[in-house]
Amino acid sequence: MIKPIVQFIEVDAEHVDQRVDNFLLTRLKGVPKSLLYRLLRKGEIRVNKKRTKAYYKLQEKDVIRVAPIRAAEKTQVAKPSEAQLEKLSKQIVYEDANLLVLNKSTGLAVHGGSGVSLGVIELLRAMRPEARFLELAHRLDRDTSGCLIIAKKRKALKEIHELLREGKIRKVYYALTLGRWYKVKNLVNLPLKKDVLKSGERVVKAVKDGKKALTEFNVLRNFSLASFVEVILHTGRTHQIRVHAQATGHFIAGDEKYGDRAFNKMMRQKGLRRLFLHAGELQFTLPSSGELISVVIPISDELQKVLKALE
């Protein structure tokens, strides 16, 4: 049996400004998140001999000390199947030296955790073990399909984050919502705040003291029961589209968390078996390359059939 030892990891320029927890999750293969955060809380992971927080951003030549981790503390890491990796490889719709864009399928989490052993990022790293850097540039809800950016370089990740903060990435979604909207173009400007229910469930609510959130809903087609809409995000809050749809009474079809039960039942009768929310378009220019990146992913045949059934 190999005795666990203290590990010392020196940070290179490629990982400057990365959070220490995210850095270690990729370095300490097989160590579950829960154990990593426990080690951080107990001071068994230190940076430059000092206790550190999970959100600490690394600097070049920082030295991370990781206390010995017993094999018994490690959990069995799920291994992706060849079918999973092949399916993911087919979902890559754009790639260059700096990033790639996936057409993420519904039901696939962007990362493991909360009962999910393998998410997009774990699958990608398993598919490309030689890649030095693969990180999520932003997130999509598990049940939302469509455009997802993965950075292949630390510099690209920082640039994408800056573009997102400045609102310089055009993100367009497509959704099916309850009822008819009063106008063709509808701006919803309601602050949002994360909350935890007594049951322990985490939710987002529209409240006055929340963070600014602005969503644009543009009606593309009206049906008797619902509207097919284009959604443009002007801010990027958690569950923003779904909560703004809920707050206006135009619930998104198939939304089990923020939706309307009766509406969901009617849409199931029309063949809907998922959340009708799809990230369909991305457009931005990466400063370092100066190249305009434009990705358009139409809604799936499955969702097209639902619209057909509503005619």
Burial of residue 209 (CB within 10 Å: 0-12, 13-18, 19+) is exposed
Tokens of 72: 């018994």
Helix, coil or strand: residue 240: helix
Distance CA 153, CA 157 (A): 6
Nearest to 112, CA basis, from 91, 89, 136: 136
- DSSP category for residue 215: E
Helix, coil or strand: residue 30: coil
Contact 10, 60 (CB under 8 A): no
Catalytic positions: 141
Nearest to 172, CA basis, from 278, 66, 305: 278
Alpha helices in 102-254 (DSSP H): 120-127, 154-165, 240-247
